[in-house]
Amino acid sequence: MAVITFSQEFGSGGREIAKRVAEELRYSFADKGVVGDLLGQYGLVEFKRVYDSTPAFWESLDSQKMEQRQLTIEMMNRAILALAQRDNAVIVGRGGYLVLAGFDDVLNVRIQAPFGARVTRVMLEKRLSDRALAENIVRENDSRRERFIEFAYGSHRDRAIDFNLVLDVEKIPESRAVALIAQAAKDIPSAVVPEGKYVASIVVDNVLKDVIAKLF
């Protein structure tokens, strides 16, 4: 029993790998859409806008807007903790590896690939013929995700020390990546110690717990 968080470089195919791992292990799967639905049902409708942007300079001087953003991030973190508390879960993105840092039964995975390989994948997925356009799309998404992690958690997305398993999918085929991650998750119970910190200890309010139950 374990929780797996996935951090992925845009265009690396990390979400697809995470989905396959969840199916292989029969874990619940929570990506940006699921977290957004969860927070929407919980009454927070600003999730997507806050996640996809960072506060402009003038907004940082507006205490009301900053409070709203901080509240959104706080609620997102609570949602991630609540999803993890269920155990047997795959959580994609949203800084889950930082929210759940320190839990002994959480496997933090990063999926990455060279820039050129990611551009090629984006061109294929979006059916683009303009490589320069695809490069701009990848750069913008990389920048947005980096800014969000820096704003929300004061960290950076490329710190290998934050992850238990880092896979370059240009070198490792997707099927092999899925098998490696699934096996690593299966090995976690044999490595736990009584004095460790585990997701079962997370306290979740009943309202949020009920909303999650409806989604899964």
Q: Tens digits of per-residue pLDDT, 82-140? A: 999 989 999 998 789 999 999 999 999 999 999 999 999 999 999 999 999 999 999 99
- Domain assignment present for residue 214? The answer is no
Q: Range of 122's domain? A: 3-205
Beta strands in the chain (DSSP E): 3-8, 28-30, 89-92, 106-112, 165-168
- Domain assignment present for residue 179? The answer is yes
pLDDT, residue 145, reads 85
CATH number, domain with residue 77: 3.40.50.300
Number of structural domains (the chain) is 1
- Domain assignment present for residue 211? The answer is no
C-alpha to C-alpha distance for 109 and 181, rounded to whole angstroms = 8
CA end-to-end distance (rounded Å), the chain: 17
- Domain assignment present for residue 56? The answer is yes
DSSP letter, residue 11: T
- Domain assignment present for residue 215? The answer is no
- Cα dist from 147 to 52, 100, 142, 143, whole Å: 9, 20, 9, 6
Helix (H) or strand (E) holding 213: helix 206-215
- Reported as a single tens digit per residue, the pLDDT across 145-199 is 888 888 888 887 778 889 999 999 999 999 999 999 999 999 998 777 778 899 9
- Domain assignment present for residue 216? The answer is no
Residues 6+ apart with CB under 8 A from 31: 15, 18, 92, 93
Residues 6+ apart with CB under 8 A from 129: 123
- Domain assignment present for residue 95? The answer is yes
- Cβ atoms of 27 and 21 within 8 Å: the answer is yes
- Cβ atoms of 77 and 134 within 8 Å: the answer is no
- Reported as a single tens digit per residue, the pLDDT across 38-84 is 877 776 655 556 555 555 544 555 666 677 777 778 888 988 999 99
pTM of the predicted structure, to 2 decimals: 0.87
- Domain assignment present for residue 50? The answer is yes
